[in-house]
Structure 1
C-alpha cells in the first residue's frame, strides 16, 4: 500500500489562496481585453476632412481656354485638360474631383485694389462660404501684370455620396483692363500641394 503524505493545514490554506488569486487575475485580464476591443470597435461620425487627396498630377496637360460668349471675352487662360465644364451666367467653372477653376467676368469702373477687395469682396464671402476664415489680401505679379490676390479657407459642399466635407483653400485673382474685370478663383483641399499647377493657371492669363 502506498504511503500517504499529510499536508499541514496551514500549508494547504496558503495553496488554496494562491490558486484562487491566480484564477481571479486571469479572469480580470480577459475582461479588460474584451472591454478594450468593444471601445475600439465603436463607430464615430466622420469629421471634416483635413488632409484629403487633391494633388494635381505633375504630368497634367493644360489647354488654352478662349471664352466664346459672356459678359467679356477678351482674354485667354490655360485650364487643366479633361476637367468638366459648367456655365452659369457670367461664371464658368472647370472641376475635377476636389479641385476647381472658376472664372467670373464683369464690368468695372476702376481697377481693384487691396483695399477695395477687402471692403467689398470679403464681407459677402463671409456669409456665402461655410466656415469662411483666414482672409488675406495682397498685390502680386503675374504674366498679365500686377493683380490683387485674395486667399481664404472654407468648407466645401457636402458630398452627396460619401457625406464628407472637405476643407478648401482658395486663391482669387482680380485682373482688370479697360473697364473689364476678370476674377480667377482656384480652389482645392487645404493640404493638397497645388502651388505649381495654380501658378501655371494664374500666370497663363492673357488679355487679347
Structure 2
C-alpha cells in the first residue's frame, strides 16, 4: 500500500507540472522570446518609448558632400534630399539638415541671437525657448542654438509635432557649415545627436 501511495503522489506532481507547462506555453504564443515573462519585459520599454526615439542600434555612415570640404556621420538608411547648398536626411519624425555657405567672419553668439533667430522666426512656427551658447566638438568651437518649434503638418494626417532643434554653426577659412538636428521634444535623442555633431570634421 505504501508503494501505491507513493506512485499516486508522484503522478499528481507530474500532472501538476504538465498542467503548469501547458498553461505557460499558451502564454508565449504572442511573444517573441523564450518565455512570456521575458517577452513582456522586453516589450514594455519599446512600447513606452516616445515617438521619434532613434533606436540604440542605429548605424551611422560618413557623408561627404560634392566638392568635399567636410564630412559628417549621418544615420544609415535615412532618405536624402538636396537643394542648393542644403542637404537634408529624414526618417519618420527626425531630421538632419546640413547647409554650407561662404562667410567673411566666424559666427558668434551675438550674431546668431541678433540675426539667425529673427530669421528663423519667419520659418519655424511658434519658435520658442531659444538659447545660444558656444560649445566644443571634435572639429573645434561651434556656436550652438537650441530652440523649439512646430513641425509642418503631416501631409496625410495633418498632425503637427512639437520639435526640439539643435543648430551648430562651424566655421573655417571663410566657410560656414550649419548642422541642424531636430525631432520631437518628447524623444530622447541626446546620444545620436552627439554622435552626429561630434563626427563633423573639416577636410
Question: What residue ranges of structure 1 are gaps of 5+ in the alignment?
Answer: 1-50
Question: What residue ranges of structure 2 are gaps of 5+ in the alignment?
Answer: 1-48
Q: How far 1:128 sits from its partner (Å)?
A: 1.2
CA deviation map 1:70-129 (0-9, x unaligned): xxx300000000000000111000000000000000000011010111111001111211
Aligned residue pairs: how many?
Answer: 155
- Corresponding position of 1:65: 63
Counterpart CA distance in 2 for 1:161 and 1:145 is 41
CA deviation map 1:27-72 (0-9, x unaligned): xxxxxxxxxxxxxxxxxxxxxxxx9500000000000001114xxx
Counterpart CA distance in 2 for 1:155 and 1:95 is 16
Q: Is the 8 A contact 1:52 1:166 kept in 2?
A: no
- Corresponding position of 1:75: 70
- Corresponding position of 1:143: 138
Counterpart CA distance in 2 for 1:146 and 1:175 is 7
Q: Structure 2 length as normaliser, TM-score?
A: 0.75
Q: Is the 8 A contact 1:99 1:188 kept in 2?
A: yes
Alignment of 1:10-25 (within 5 A): none
Counterpart CA distance in 1 for 2:56 and 2:109 is 32
Q: What is the aligned counterpart of 1:99 among 94, 105, 120?
A: 94
183-192 or 127-136, larger mean C-alpha shift: 127-136
- Corresponding position of 1:167: 162
Q: What is the aligned counterpart of 1:112 among 99, 107, 113?
A: 107
Q: What is the aligned counterpart of 1:196 among 171, 184, 191?
A: 191
CA deviation map 1:124-149 (0-9, x unaligned): 11121111111100001100011100
Counterpart CA distance in 2 for 1:88 and 1:156 is 19
Q: Any runs of at least 4 consecutive aligned residues in structure 1 with deviations exceeding 6 A, and if so which? A: none
Structure number with bigger Rg:
1
CA RMSD of aligned residues (A): 1.1
